[in-house]
Structure 1
Amino acid sequence: MIAQAPAPTRDLLSRFESLGDENRLRILTLLDRNEFTVSELVSVLQLPQSTVSRHLRVLADDGWVRRRQEGKTRYYRMDGELESGARELWRLAEGSLAGARWIRDDAERAESVLAERRGRAAAFFSESAAEWDTLRDDLFGSDARFAPLFGLFDPEWTVGDLGAGTGTLANMIAPFVTRVVAVDRSPEMLAAAAVRLGERDNVDIREGELESLPIDDDALDLAVLMLVLHFALDPGRVLAEAARALAPGGRLLVLDMRAHERDEYRETMGHLWPGFTEDQMRDWTRLAGLEAYHHIPLAPEPEASGPALFAATARKTV
């Protein structure tokens, strides 16, 4: 009785047999460089769709290619996780094809197919440029514009969202750091924040004043004051409290209004300060024991009706 070969050897032999057809070699050469649909392969190879589909089925059964579904469209690509024996077998096969007559023709037609695909995307952006920002916000939400920047945060950080309001910022930051401490003076705002942050087990919601934060000394790696400083009776004291809560080397980030003359905001919105100048902010942060102050005036967005903003950063002395 003849013993059967071990499964890995039998699989490798099957893979070897599947390389014994020139059209399958052409398909693999293309799929090793890019992914294609069946119709795109038909265009490149100049073969009937039934032929291309049959060869793809053989290659898929023998583990050479993978497919992914995108809506009703299937994309094929050489399996990027071939075991070492199969990968070496493909290198040998590929090396023997250097002089094949079809290599250049297939490559040229493949580039035309890919250029057409890129052209469809380019045409979309050409037609949609004027509405792209609105369309992107409709599709993904306005947070998608800057949320990836939170990936630059150290995942070990504890971040203070000072003047957290309804928890919008804390909710965005929480997935990227170890802990967020969200502080606000308004019980109503914090109740709304608790609803928003209900599934965030690394957000600590605390009621308190910005001038006397319910946070221990040296507890924060980053303190954020986003559009809240103009509500403070004593902005200098708020910045000093933020500095106290920062660990040595910790960072302060402030986003607020530049100085303006819209006095009506005092009555209609409860603002206590008509924005801030760079000199004011620089002096307050220096007195708070912060260094390396950096002040960045932000370009106003065309649709924004409020005063222009600034962003400011500073660091607690190590």
Structure 2
Amino acid sequence: MQKRSQVGLSTLVDTLKAAAESSRLRILVLLSRGDLTVSDLTEILNQSQPRVSRHLKLLLEAGLIGRYQEGSWAFFRLADTEDERGFIHSLVGRVRSSDPQVERDMERLASVKRRRQERASEYFRENAAGWDHVRSLHASESAVEAAMLKLVGDRPFQAMLDLGTGTGRLLELFAPLYRRGVGLDMSREMLAVARANLDHAGIAHAQVRLGDIYAPPVERDAYDLVTIHQVLHYLDDPAHAIREAARLLRPSGRLLIVDFAPHTLEALRDEHAHQRLGFSDRQIAEWFGEAGIELEKTQEFAPDASQGGLTVKLWMGRDRRLLVADPSTTEFEREIA
């Protein structure tokens, strides 16, 4: 049984007061289904923006929700810590889904998500040609995904971070395993695609946000699995990205990188903005070593002769620090260590 941290009486009373109001409880129910903007909440709740902003401010001060900026938009999400999220889910789990007000909120939320999906589909249509060309050069994605699942295994874990999340595919792939997932990307357009995909898949325990892979805006020593999927070849300093990823791992956490083996397709530099033409096992091992990561497994997928010439590589590394169980460590954390 998971041990929860204790708080002072006045703090608990303030937290309960923040949640004990119909509009704020509705907001918590909505955010348990995914991240939303003030405009989204204003539309769904059918309230003025100042009023919604006031509710959000009180929930923020109580530590029940978080806020992150994405360009000119501010997104709100449930608090990241396990204690707060557990408290919130215990509250919203007691709200009847058949309640008339909740049903209306869910209908409006579905409308907001449909618009996200429409914008994402439009972006895909405009950029599909370039992506399809690169995909045609390497092994099937289904084979690579099956290998990733096998490498990671089927034991559940606490938290996953996907750096350069793109369409959010890895958050979707590993969703049955993690309790909390986060995806970072520098493209607001791709984040819109990822949100739409996660909404469509019904994945509410993952979120995506704007973030630089060289300076990830997330907590350190917090993730059991960090993934970097087909991102390194776009970077001018991949070693820096690996070092930053390593800092985010919990002791004994794992780093999974998927990218290309060395190749000679120079056209990818000019036509698709590739900075690097693949990576050798030796290079990845050196960068892992510098970051305190032990390279444990490698795997490669050669393309069919008709596909042209990009070999996909998987590298799995583990943080060298050991997670030592102590009395405050939860049973769940000891099981995944």
TM-score by length of 2: 0.49
Distance 2:312 2:186 in 1: 23
Instruction: State the partner residue of 1:220.
Output: 223
Instruction: State the partner residue of 1:315.
Output: 318
Instruction: State the partner residue of 1:40.
Output: none
- Contact 1:154 1:177 survives alignment (8 Å): no
Larger radius of gyration: 1
Given residue 166 of structure 2, which amino acid in structure 1 is its aligned partner? G
Distance 1:304 1:282 in 2: 28
- Contact 1:256 1:309 survives alignment (8 Å): yes
Distance 1:211 1:261 in 2: 27
TM-score by length of 1: 0.52
Distance 1:254 1:247 in 2: 17
Question: Relative to 1, partners in 2 of residues 1:204 and 1:261: Cα closer, same or farther, differing over 3 Å?
Answer: same
Instruction: State the partner residue of 2:289.
Output: 286
Work out whether 1:206 is the aligned partner of 2:188: no
Work out whether 1:192 is the aligned partner of 2:202: no
Deviation at 1:296, TM superposition (A): 2.7
Structure 2 unmatched runs, 5+: 1-140, 322-337
Question: Relative to 1, partners in 2 of residues 1:315 and 1:145: Cα closer, same or farther, differing over 3 Å?
Answer: closer
Question: Relative to 1, partners in 2 of residues 1:184 and 1:144: Cα closer, same or farther, differing over 3 Å?
Answer: closer
Instruction: State the partner residue of 1:110.
Output: none
% of aligned pairs identical? Answer: 33
Question: Relative to 1, partners in 2 of residues 1:148 and 1:218: Cα closer, same or farther, differing over 3 Å?
Answer: closer
- Contact 1:150 1:176 survives alignment (8 Å): no
Distance 1:176 1:310 in 2: 23
Structure 1 unmatched runs, 5+: 1-140
Instruction: State the partner residue of 1:175.
Output: 176
Partner SS, residue 174 of structure 2: helix
Given residue 171 of structure 1, which amino acid in structure 2 is its aligned partner? E
Distance 1:235 1:162 in 2: 12
**Stretch of structure 1 that moved more, 144-153 or 237-246:** 144-153
Partner SS, residue 282 of structure 2: helix
- Contact 2:302 2:310 survives alignment (8 Å): no
- Contact 2:285 2:295 survives alignment (8 Å): no
Distance 2:144 2:238 in 1: 31
Cα-to-partner distance string for 1:19-57 (whole Å, 9 max, x where unaligned): xxxxxxxxxxxxxxxxxxxxxxxxxxxxxxxxxxxxxxx
Higher relative contact order (CA 8 A, sep 6+): 2
Partner SS, residue 273 of structure 1: coil
Distance 1:305 1:258 in 2: 14
Question: Relative to 1, partners in 2 of residues 1:296 and 1:148: Cα closer, same or farther, differing over 3 Å?
Answer: closer
Deviation at 1:178, TM superposition (A): 0.8
